[in-house]
Structure formats: C-alpha cells, structure tokens
Structure 1
Amino acid sequence: METKTKRIIPCLDVDHGRVVKGKKFKGLKDIADPIELARKYEQQGADELVFYDITATTEKRGIILDIVKQVQSAITIPLTVGGGIRTVKDIEAVLQAGADKVSINSAAVKNPDLITEAASHFGNNRIVLSIDVKQVGEKEWKIFTDGGSTETELNAIDWAKEGEKRGAGEIVVNCMDEDGVRNGYDIQLTETISNAVDIPVIASGGAGEMEHFKEVFEHGISGALAASVFHYDDIKIPDLKLYLADIHFPADGLLPAIVQDVETKQVLMLAYMNETALKKTIETKEAWFYSRSRQELWHKGATSGNKQLVRGIQYDCDGDAILLQVKRLGPACHTGEESCFFNSLIQGSEGLKEEAVLSQLMTTIKKRRNKQQSRSYTAYLFREGLDKILKKIGEESSEVIIGAKNRNKQEVIWEIADLVYHLLVLMTYLNIDLSDIERELKKRHVKREE
C-alpha cells in the first residue's frame, strides 16, 4: 500500500570530517563538506538528514561530535546520527550534541540489549536500527557488521523483528548489493522486511533515478534514503518532490493556492501557482505565485517586505489545489488588512477560536516586549529581565502543584493559565516561537501513516 508521507532523506557518509561516497561500501571518494551539504539539502526541501561516521566503528573510536554539532546547528530538519555508537552513554552524547535520533548497527548485533536499554532511556522514537544486508546464496539475506566487512549468521528478517521487539522505533535497510550502483532499491528485500514489522522502514542503497523512489514508495516504504544522486545533483530534491506528488496542473497551468497562517490557522489569501512558482516555493521556503494580471512570477513581499515564510505545503485529495502554511512577516492583503478575507456575506461567530488563543497571546506579548516603557505587567517583566521571569515561572508551577493536590479543578485551570502565560513570556524573551515547540513535539511522535 502506498504511503501518504514520502520522506526524502539525503545521507551524509562522513569519513574524518568529509562526506565520501563509494560503491558497495568500497572505493570511497571525497565529495564535500558536510555542513555545506546539510544546508543545501534543507534548502532544497529534504524531510530529514542522516549522518553516518562510517569509519568510527572499524577504527574503534567515538563519533566526531564537533561535526555533528555543526551540522545540527546548520539545519532545522530532523537529524539522525550513527557510527561508532557502542553504549547508552554514547547515545546520550550524540543526542546532547543535537541529534534527533540515533542509529545503531554493529553494536546492536553484538549486544542486542543495547536496543532495549536505549529505547527505555530515550524512547523508541529516538532509536533507529540500521541493518547492513547482503544476499548470501540464492534466497537468504544475512546481516553484516563493521562497515559491511563482517558477515554474521543473523537472518535479516529475523533480526528486524528482534529489533522491533526490543524497542527500535524504525529500521533502515542498507542493501549492500545495490549501494552506489544506481540500479534501484532492492524492493523485494525492503518490502519483505516492511511486511514483517509494524514500525517504519526506510530503504537505502541503489537510487539512480526518480522512478526508483516512486517504485519504493508504491510498496509501502516510509522513507527513501539516498546519497550520490543528490551529492552530484543528478536528482534535485524539489524536482523529486513534484514528481512524487500526485498534483494535476490544469490546462492553463495554474493551481489555486490557499495561504494559511501556520500559528493562528487564519486563512490569509488565495493566489495561483504554476509549476515554476511551486518549485521556487519549495526551494526558497518563501511563497511564490503567478500573477494572472501581470502574466509573470510573483515573489510575495519582494517589494512590500510582507513576505510569507513557508512552513508546510499540502495538496488536496484530487491533487488540484495547494495549501501553504506560512509564517507571515506582515499583512497578507495589499489593503493592509491581515487577511484578504475581511468582507462578510454571513457573519461568523465572534471571538477567537481556542486553538488561536495562544498564538494571539504570543503576538500581544511580543508587542509588549517592544514597548517596555508601558505600564503593562508584561512590559514590566521584560524590564526586570530573565531572573524575574524565571522566578514567576517557579511560583506559578508551585501554585499548579498546590491546586492539583487540593483536587480543585477550577483552581488548577486558573493556575495553569498563569503558568502558560509566563512560559510564553520566557519563550518570547529567548526568541522561541510556538512553531518551534510544535516541531519538536512532532519530531517525538513520528508515526507511519497507513
């Protein structure tokens, strides 16, 4: 069954600080700086990034954490890190360096309890079991360790089941026979493992053209990992995204695009996109449209400064309309109104929707921060500084605890509201947006869509 979410995951095989690539785990060639590539892939619209320190295990050393930190600081998409990880302490160090998930391979084969302990300590959504698989004989797939140099007696299907049972949150299937060859993913191997477990499976090894990605997703795989086709720009991620999407441009080439505020969920405007505008939107993470009146591409906010930073792109069930979720840097409408939809035929219900209250409150707090000389309580907190804000958070946390111990529901609601307000003040003080918290929560609860 085809998955709704098609995760495109570039892979950085890193050897002593440089990205390298070979074929079938051999003949490594220098490619580029990992930080530069990481930035490039996020800019192009990659869903996640994988970083493997490929010689850490064979050289019996730890992973190069400084480079992990630099890569992590350069991107906002989820980062999975593996290589040279042998203990729970190693996993903790990698997570502290900024990784969202940790990939374990050889060490898990030698000590399967590592999977169990790691999942218990950090949660199974942060533990990835990476398996290097090669066909031995006519019909058996065996697990290899130590960078693919050591054959084990483990059957790949059995080991995948064992990894899931012990708590791995997802599995990456590295097909050694197809690595770097570009003949396509091993569909039979990857689909067999995917059917044997209930956790997400990522295909790795063999991508050479866009059709290979389409084929693997049609067999129910959660994500497709690739390296050389991205490193050498044989496939550009925006082009691949559009190729995989079931989008149907009409005869005039223009799709209606609904623009929505990612935080308040307010509908801001309706515009139109041709294929070029959609590609530019994916590439730049800023909204581009096609102006029907001027018959030209239109970069929203290029002259007014009211840009729209794209946080998500969805398309409807028929593939003939686009939804952009944006963080706006000013009014959406040329009249100066926040939304183009300010005229009413039938007046809707008044007041804020519950899900928009936090966003509106955050907006008000940000305004108070910029007017610290006003008499408002919020401005007073910003004038007093971080220590005062933290003191209030401590006080409000205690009040929540007291209310809960008293089993007074209304009191708890009241005190939680106070606590949330002061947390929003802290977030504003530290330049943290609600969307930052939402992204972090989503990272922790990545689930396979059936």
Structure 2
Amino acid sequence: MPREHRPLKTTPYWWEDAPVQPLPEVPLEQKVDVAIVGAGYTGLSAALTLVRAGRSVAVFDRQHPGEGASSRNGGITSGNIRLDHATLLRKFGNDRTIAIEAEGKLARQHLYDLIAGEGIDCDLQPVGRFTGTLGAEDYDSNARSAEHLHRTLGIESFAVPRSEQRDYIGSDYFHGGTVRMDISGLHPAKFIAELLRLVQAAGITVYADTAVEKIEQDASGYSVTTARGKLSARQVMICTNGYTDRMDPWLRRRIVPVRSRMIATAVLPADLMAELTPKRMMMCDTRTLGFYFRPSPDGRRILFGGRDGTNLDDPTKPVAYLRENMLSIFPQLDQTPITHTWFGHVAMQRDMIPRIFERDGMIYATGFCGSGVVWAPWIARKAAQKLLGNANEAPSAFDFRAPAPVPFYNGKPWFMPFFMAQYRMRDRIKMRRAGR
C-alpha cells in the first residue's frame, strides 16, 4: 500500500493557488434590469455580456462565487456532447445535429477568444487531448469519429494505433486511441476568479452567500425574494446548473446533480511525469463511466477524476475506487500518496445536451452534462443575447424546448446507484469483449 499523507485534504487541489472566498456584504439594490441566479461560469459570463449591452445586473449565489463546479472541475476544455452522431440524428434530426456539432467548435473558440481578449490568467495550455480506447472495435469506431471531425469541421483529430500509444501516454492499458488538438487544459479556480474580477470591474454587484428563495411575476417584471430581502427585476436568468435547489422546483425535476470526484497525487519526480504524460496532454477514456485525467498545470502531479455515484460523507470508498482505476492505467503510481480529494455536481438531464429555454418569461441556461468549461461561457452568451432580443445574433442550436422532467424525481437522485450499477455492467461487458 502507498504511504498516505494524513489527513487527506477534502478541499479542491485548485484552491491551493486560487481559494474561493466570501465577498464583502453590500446593500441590496432595490431595482435592476436583470437578476441572475448563480455566480459560476454561466452567471458571471452572462452578466458581463448584459452589462456591456447597457443593462444593470445583480448576480446572486447561495455559496461563495464559483464555489460549486466552476472551481472543482477537471479544467479540460472538452466540450463533449454525450450523444453520438447517430443518436443525435434520431433525437433531433439532421439540421439540428449538424448545427449542434458545428456549435461545439464555435463554443471552444469563444472560450479561447474570451481568455485571450480579456487577459484572463488561468494557465491555459493548448496541448490537445488523448482518448484511450478499450479494444479493436472501440478503436475503429473512435478512429472513424476522429476522421469525421477532421473532414466535416476541420478539427485536427487523428487516430493513434497501439504501437504509437506510448508517444502520448505512459500506459499499455489502452488499445490505441485518438487525439484532438483543439482541446486544452486550464486552471478552473483561476478562471472563475478572473471572471469575477472582470464582472466586479464592470460594476456588477455579486451577492455571495445570498440564496434566492422565491421569484414571482409582477407588474414591473419580477419580484425576487432573497435571504437578505427583496428587489425588483425586469428580467431574470437562471444559471444554477448542478446546484439547483428548492427555489425552482420545476427546474429541479429536470436537472439531476451527479457527483464528479477527483483525486490528486503527491508531487512526482520529473522523469516519472515525463513518462506518464510525454506531451502533457489532457486524457480520458471511452468507458460509459469514463475517467478523465491530466497533469496539473505545473506539471508535477496527476489529477484523476470520474463519476462518484455515492452520497457518502466519508470519501474512503470513492477515493479507493478512483485510485484503483488510476493504477490500472498507471501502475507506476502504486507507491504514490494521494493528497487531495474533492467533488462537484455536474448537471445531467434527459436530452443530454446543453440547453437554453424560456419559462414564464425567465431565461434558463443550464444542463451542461459535465462539460461546462466550454459550454457554460458560450451558452451564457447566447442566452444573454436572447434576453437582449438581439436579432443580429445567430440562434443557438441548443435553444429550444425545456428538457422533460425525470419521472418520480423531485431533487433527490434516489435512482443513481441503479444507473451507476447498470453503466458499470456495460463497461464490464465492453471490456470483456476487448479481452480484458
């Protein structure tokens, strides 16, 4: 067994360099043009778009700004769409499918332009991503997908046969893989801190630790009741994603929060890091309950994450599960201590694609299904333009009906252990077919 550091830190590794902090309390405004609920990537990005269009904006969060998934995620600009091309066609038709796939490229470029244009210091590293496949059939399917991306969208994407795998990852676990060079790594807590800096510099008031308790329509627009009092808003945007609470029971029946947990290794020798991550790429695999992993921005640790289907306060079992799977890929880490573990909530919903929709005149931007680093700033911008009524802005392929409610669900995902067991069974079958 490895030598463990005690105690294991249960705050995000990211907070070591960019701690999430409370904001000074300020008087509650009486009236604004737009009230935004949620001060993560989505809410702050939307606020910036709106204030630069001349709107007065107030942003509310029941936690510190960015304390949710915005400062807890893996910092990989994946911009994944969970549904494959055939499923998208079946669910949404040819035109919307083509638009969804094309918009992913626009969303990622928007993120990079935002970081460069605003001078955001968040350790952006344009290194690409390696996706490990689990067998010959899996490799062939993903190789075709990589070729499709290159042919239809001009994305630098290609297959890596098993004979060349060690050029990209220090592991023999996979049956080759694919590479996408448009995917980068960043420091998520630094990114949200920089967004907060921009928002505050633009004169937007962010009310931290101020839960929104109720929103009611009235003659002037909306009456917004918060833990610190009421204010009036002409328009409202909801950006709560995986942290949707009882304030909006209608949305809560449509958004399922799923824990995504990460672990961080102790600092590793430089030669071992060079072996494990020869090109310092972001990494993932093709399991249904896949894992995502990467070098830390300083290139000294491995950060490893995956879905945590538990509701346990004690992290011992989920940490052991992540560590076991990390060692299956990187047995070289057998004697390496784990120093940090933490989790955040990703927002799943029945459509499994990011969404913009409207209800009772309020605009919703939510449901990023674990890929909010790319999708949240983009969807926020498109939702803000919708709220502004900007006819010159191209419509988003993600702007249509609300996701359907989840049957027998009212905010507590009681069914997650069943689904996690089902997905793990699929992965075991997949791996048996691959000869594992």
Q: TM-score, normalised by structure 2?
A: 0.21
Q: Which has the higher contact order (CA 8 A, sep 6+)?
A: 2
Larger radius of gyration: 1
Q: TM-score, normalised by structure 1?
A: 0.21
